Structures are given as C-alpha cells and as structure tokens.
Structure 1
Amino acid sequence: MRGWALALLLGALRAGGTELTFELPDSDKHCFHQDMERGIKFTLDYQVITGGHYDVDCYVEDPNGRTIYRETKKQYDSFPHHTEVKGIYTFCFSNEFSTFSHKTVYFNLQVGDEPPILPDMSSRVTALTQMESACVTIHEALNAVIDSQTHYRLREAQDRSRAEDLNGRVSYWSVGETLILFVVSIGQVMLLKSFFTEKRPGGGGAGT
C-alpha cells in the first residue's frame, strides 16, 4: 500500500506541486518524501475526507530528523515553511490512534514559487502590453478557479460520505424497527390467542 501511494505521489508531480488523495487504514501510518534545496518555500495543505471523526495526526521532519510541524487529530490544516537545510523532507500522516476507522486523506504540497507565464517577466523594465496583462489576469483567474474547484470537490466528497453514513444508519434503524414491530405483533396475537384457548378446570362428579 505504501509503495502504491508513493508511486501515485511521484506520478502526480506537476508545476512544482503534488496533489494526492490516498487511503489511510486504521492503526497505520503513511510517509512521503520530497527532496528540496535550501531556502525554498513550500506549503502543505491537507484535509480528511472520510472516516471516523475526520481527523488525522500529521508531522513534518527536516533532513536532520528535526520535527518542524506536528498536529494531532486535525481535520484540516495548512503549513507554510521555508527550508533551512538541503535534503529530503518527510511528510507523515498517522491514523495509529484509531483502531477501526479507515480514513481518506487529501493533501497538496506546493514547492517553490510558480514560474512566470512570460519568460522575461521578472527581469523586464518596461510595462506589460495589454495582451500580456490580459494573459496574466486570465492565468490568475484560472488558478483561482482551480483552487475553488478543489475546495468544492473536497466538500462534496466529505458531504457525500456523511450522507451515505447517515443513510446507512437510518436503514439499519428502519430494519430494526421493522423487526421489533414484527415481534411485538406476533406476541400480541399469541397473547390474545391464549385468552380464548385457556383450558378451564372440569366440573366435579355428578351427585347421586
């Protein structure tokens, strides 16, 4: 399972970021690794979509093994950080405190700043043309749309999970009520039947 999740993580790299939704079984932990240079900014966003109380433990370690972030039983959070040393950073999600709740976790890791859409945008001294300004505006608007779609997709998945869980509980409750009603009905019929079939003691012998 860990190798499969790591393969998905490596396959999801795009535009300096990683976006992944993975299954986290009960009493288990998944860790992911990212090699980063010194002085790079990264942001970790995560949210529990399904399972239990929608909470998970999360911690981040630098290449020296020092914990730079740790939260317990969080439903969602965001952690921005600038790297101080070069090497492999470890991002771990733990469900070890739960003995039976299976979780589904989404996380998004953005590494570094997004490259400019124009090659010389950061070094040019002249103002942007109307076409270039329109491209930048459209690019920023599309990024905002992507963020909104991700947010609402996660909310939809979480609400669907809660609705399905509630529907299952209502179904079980309805089945239980039906069985109780059936048993009570049979008991009432048997009780009424006993009133009419009760044997009365026979009369004494005939007198002489």
Structure 2
Amino acid sequence: MLRWLLLPFLAVALAHRIEVEQGDRHCYFEDLQAQDRMTVTYEVGGSTQGGSLDIDFFVVGPGKVQVYKSLSEAQGTWSVTAPSPGRYTYCFSNEVGNGRKTVSFNVHGVMHIDEEEQMAPVEREIRNLASGLQMVKDEQSYLVVRERVHRNTCEATNSRVKWWAIVQIILLFGVCGWNVHYLKSWFEVKRIL
C-alpha cells in the first residue's frame, strides 16, 4: 500500500521559462542520491536586440567538478545517473551573448528504488505510462516554443516585405513623375526675345 502512495512522487518533472539578460547567468541545483536519474532539456525560444537563439549550458557535479559544458546551442539535452550522492548544479549563461534570451527548460528525475525488481507488474506499467505521458508533454512544450519562434520569424519577414513594397511604390511614382517632367521639357516651345 505504501508503494501506491509513493508512486506519484517517483517521477518528477518541472517545466520552467526564464529570461536571461545579457551578461547574466541563472543556476539551479538538484540533490541526487546514488542511482537517481536526472535529465535537463532546454531550448532558446526568443531573443531581443537581434541576438542569436543560443545559450551556454553547463553542469557542475559534487565536489565542484564540471561534468558537462555546451556552448552557444539553441537547444540541448543532458542526462545523468548519479554514481554517488551529491548536488548537481546546472546553469544557463548569456555572458557572451547579446540581448535578453528566453529559455524554456524541463527537469526530469526518477528516484531509484532498491525494491524495483520486486515491484508488481501493475506498478511497473503505471510508471511506464507516466514516463510516456511526460515525454508527450515535453514534446508538446517543445512544439509550442518552435511555433512561437517560427511565427515571430514569419511576422518579421512579412513586415519587411510590406515596407519594401511601400518603398518600391514611392520610388516608382517618383521616377514616373520625373519622366513626365523631363518629357514635358522637351516639347516646350522656347521663346526668343
């Protein structure tokens, strides 16, 4: 009965969206026990001031040892099965980037249970279903971010096309007006006094 009460707490998933200012760094940590699993997935969903859609991501494990480093990536995934207990700190850095970046990230973790082999088939199936459901939710949030990025790109392109068409129309009327004025000057009769 106790296992049924603990089951909802075995698979943990957190979804976040943060704004990382230019020259700033945001760090978070998770305390893991031996054999706990943790996965961090992230994606840059927007940038201001014409900045690129990338962020630096790094992870520091127990003992302040750098475990993982990814520079200037738009999206990424990092996973670990903790070999020993300790604190894992993961950071998003925009120290060398330009503009403010919007980062969406998910943290997934599964706590290790020594009695996992003795688990009832129904419990194991429930855990598998919960894991599959979490993967579907993550994919949905990924698609929402990608849709937002593509919509922003389309709107910016549409705006540029509109203004370029307006400039072309103004230039066309200007050239037509100049042609009419120039041709009129050829057919004017000049009076000599």
TM-score, length of structure 1 as denominator length:
0.69
> Match for 2:42 among 37, 41, 46?
46
- Identity level (%): 17
Question: RMSD between aligned alpha carbons?
Answer: 3.2
> Match for 1:181 among 133, 148, 169?
169
Deviations 1:118-142 (A, max 9, x none): xx87546xxx5xxx63x65355334
Deviations 1:43-97 (A, max 9, x none): 2222223345432211011242210111112233222223355443221111223
1:1-208 counterparts in 2 under 5 A?
15-51=11-47, 52-84=51-83, 86-100=85-99, 102-113=100-111, 123=118, 128=120, 133=122, 136-137=124-125, 140-197=128-185, 201-204=190-193
Count of matched residue pairs = 181
Name the structure with the higher strand share.
2
The alpha-carbon distance between structure 1 residues 27 and 169, as it changes in their structure 2 partners (threshold 3 A), is: farther
Alpha-carbon distance in 2 for matches of 1:64, 1:99:
32
Which consecutive residues of structure 1, in runs of 5 or more, have no partner in the other structure?
Answer: 1-12
Give secondary structure in 1 for the equivalent of 2:95. coil
Q: CA deviation at 1:156?
A: 3.0
Alpha-carbon distance in 2 for matches of 1:151, 1:75:
16
Structure 1 residue identity aligned to 2:138: T
Q: CA deviation at 1:193?
A: 2.4
The alpha-carbon distance between structure 1 residues 33 and 176, as it changes in their structure 2 partners (threshold 3 A), is: same
Q: CA deviation at 1:111?
A: 3.3
Structure 2 residue identity aligned to 1:162: H
Structure (1 or 2) with the larger CA radius of gyration:
1
Give secondary structure in 2 for the equivalent of 1:72. strand
The alpha-carbon distance between structure 1 residues 14 and 123, as it changes in their structure 2 partners (threshold 3 A), is: closer
Alpha-carbon distance in 1 for matches of 2:133, 2:109:
20
Alpha-carbon distance in 2 for matches of 1:110, 1:123:
24
Structure 1 residue identity aligned to 2:171: V
Which consecutive residues of structure 2, in runs of 5 or more, have no partner in the other structure?
Answer: 1-8
Q: CA deviation at 1:147?
A: 1.2
- Pick 1 or 2: higher relative contact order, CA cutoff 8 A, min separation 6: 2
